[in-house]
Amino acid sequence: MTPDSLDLWDSQMRREIRAEVRKALANLGQEAAPPEGEGPVVELEDVCLSYGEHTVLDGVSLALQRGETLSVLGGSGAGKSTILRLILGLSLPDSGEVRVEGKDISHVPLTQVLALRRNMGMVFQEAALFDSLTVYDNVGFYLHEHTHLSEGEIEFRVRESLGLVDLEPEQVMGLLPAELSGGMKKRVGIARAVVHRPRLLLYDEPTSGLDPITTRTINDLILKLQGEIEVSSIVVTHDIRSAFRTSNRVALLFEGSLVFVGSPEEMVATEDEYVREFLR
Ligand SMILES: Nc1ncnc2c1ncn2[C@@H]1O[C@H](COP(=O)(O)OP(=O)(O)OP(=O)(O)O)[C@@H](O)[C@H]1O
Ligand SMILES: [Mg+2]
């Protein structure tokens, strides 16, 4: 072969390999999501995780019951987002187990992790919308990427999700994220997270950076979604008031451990020194 034909052969091979990989990835995403189970939706059991010398989680155990909203409170860098990453299977624990719908996600094949993720919706810290996509394309992103729904069906669901978060579809669908207020961005982020009707919703700081009135409307929205789409939720936040307003139970993370898990009423009544300090 001449160098030229080698090049040609090489690029042809690469094209074929890329097509194979694309096909494999498409099939990978198609494993059926597991049916709704009976026990806790999420369980962390004695989870430890360190980055080098830095221990982030040191024996964390926690269970999210079906239909409940649980807030994880903690200061900056406490490991709150890390807990969400573990549940999504984006990080793996050094030891201990993270079970979603009863399945230990460190020990199931990637296809099952992806199938489990199909039942989850994630509301990212700072909303994390795609800047160059309209509200319609942001909210419809998951359906465009991961389903074979027709455009008409996608539009129906995008409108429905925007309605759920109290946005008027006609007014917002064509806007870019830069044209939205902070509160609207959060709403669009939530609409994007619920568009595929997940059973588990993960919120990362849903009210950070919002004024008190907008914070209240987002809290009310979290409460409304719990009832209307019957979702189980974990809300990661450093905002005690939001946690108390939205959640059936709250957990407090401090130096890698959960120093409290219980109802808001129990938290207020506790004698624990650190919890009392945190509440102050
Ligand atoms: N990929 C990584 N590599 C190294 N350290 C990391 C990594 N991800 C997180 N950390 C560290 O782990 C700790 C916990 O991070 P995490 O993002 O979970 O905190 P957080 O409670 O969500 O904080 P914040 O309230 O600021 O969002 C932090 O000290 C962070 O610097
Ligand atoms: Mg965080």
Domain residue ranges in the chain: 1-30, 34-279
- Could you read off the pLDDT of 88-119 as tens digits, one per residue? 999 999 999 999 999 999 888 888 898 899 89
Residues with pLDDT less than 70, the chain: 1-11, 17-35
Tell me, using a 6 A CB cutoff, whether residue 102 lines ligand 1.
Answer: no
pLDDT of 4 reads 63
DSSP-derived secondary structure letter, 46: E
Helix 110-117 × helix 3-28 angle, to 10°: 50
DSSP-derived secondary structure letter, 188: H
| Surface-to-core class of residue 67, CB atoms within 10 Å of its CB (0-12 exposed, 13-18 middle, 19+ buried) | middle
Q: What is the greatest pairwise CA distance in the chain?
A: 81
- Given a contact cutoff of 8 angstroms between Cβ atoms, the answer to whether 45 and 61 are in contact is yes
Q: Can you give the pTM of this predicted structure? A: 0.86
pLDDT of 8 reads 62
Q: How many CB atoms lie within 10 A of CB 117?
A: 21
Number of the ligand 1 atom closest to the C-alpha atom of 238: 25
pLDDT of 23 reads 61
Nearest residue CA, atom 13 of ligand 1?
A: 77
Task: State in Å: Cα 32 to ligand 1 middle.
Answer: 32
Task: State in Å: Cα 77 to ligand 2 middle.
Answer: 7
Task: State in Å: Cα 79 to ligand 1 middle.
Answer: 6
Task: State in Å: Cα 32 to ligand 2 middle.
Answer: 31
Tell me, using a 6 A CB cutoff, whether residue 91 lines ligand 1.
Answer: no
Q: What are phi and psi of 129, to 5 degrees?
A: -75, 155
Tell me, using a 6 A CB cutoff, whether residue 79 lines ligand 1.
Answer: yes
- Given a contact cutoff of 8 angstroms between Cβ atoms, the answer to whether 82 and 163 are in contact is no
Q: What are phi and psi of 136, to 5 degrees?
A: -60, -50
To test the ligand 1 pocket, which listed residue (53, 60, 81, 84) has its Cβ within 8 A of the most ligand atoms? Answer: 81
Domain spanning 34-279: CATH 3.40.50.300: yes
pLDDT of 3 reads 58
3-class SS of residue 122: strand
pLDDT of 18 reads 66
Counting ligands in written order, which one lies closest to the CA of residue 77? 1
- Given a contact cutoff of 8 angstroms between Cβ atoms, the answer to whether 90 and 253 are in contact is no
pLDDT of 156 reads 96
